[in-house]
């Protein structure tokens, strides 16, 4: 017996080439009492997220900052599918919610960088975090910033 099942769906936006384009991001955390510990905590959360298992992840030395000795680590993520940005934003937002201190999350991508600030009370929304990744990737134009 054949029957048709109606699945709710969202229209696909963009092209297949856009959806399968590789994107590399570097994420840093500043403004906490222990930025290195906070970054490593975020890295552990990203590693444990099942939806991000295909994302290539590593901790790498970041760019040296003025007034600091040496370079702090950054999280390097390589996504082979831009659809993973939604999962990455959800994971990152959940981590931000768990933080009690004020911090600044900086996302560096092929098109530049974007920042998300959280203070333990006013946590960024998943949409705001996703927008930061999209700005860094270049899928949101200057007018939307």
The predicted structure's pLDDT at residue 47: 96
Domains in the chain, number: 1
Contact 84, 77 (CB under 8 A): no
User: Within a domain: residue 55?
Assistant: yes
- Averages of pLDDT over each 10 residues, the chain, 145 residues: 44 45 90 91 96 94 66 88 91 91 92 90 86 91 47
CATH number at residue 21: 3.30.70
Domain span holding position 62: 16-140
Question: Does some domain include residue 3?
Answer: no
Query: What pLDDT is recorded for position 21?
Result: 67
Q: Kindly state whether residue 145 falls inside one of the protein's structural domains.
A: no
Using the structure block, give the residue that is written with the tokens 């222990």: 34
CA distance 104 to 20: 29
Asked if the structure places residue 2 within a domain, the reply is: no
CA diameter of the chain: 72
Segments of the chain assigned E as strands: 23-30, 56-61, 73-79, 103-109, 112-118
Asked whether residue 10 is domain-assigned, the answer is: no
pLDDT of residue 137: 92
pTM, entire model:
0.78
């Amino acid at each position: 017996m054949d029957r048709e099942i109606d699945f709710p769906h969202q229209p696909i936006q963009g092209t297949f080439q856009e959806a399968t384009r590789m994107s590399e991001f570097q994420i840093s955390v500043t403004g906490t009492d222990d930025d290195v510990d906070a970054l490593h905590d975020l890295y552990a959360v990203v590693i444990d997220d099942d939806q991000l298992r295909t994302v290539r992840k590593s901790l790498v030395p970041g760019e040296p900052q003025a007034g600091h000795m040496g370079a702090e680590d950054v999280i390097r993520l390589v996504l082979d599918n831009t659809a993973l940005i939604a999962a990455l934003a959800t994971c990152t937002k959940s981590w931000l919610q768990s933080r009690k201190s004020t911090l600044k999350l900086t996302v560096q991508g092929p098109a530049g960088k974007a920042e998300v600030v959280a203070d333990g009370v006013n946590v960024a929304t998943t949409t705001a975090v996703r927008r930061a990744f999209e700005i860094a990737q270049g899928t949101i134009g200057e007018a939307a910033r």
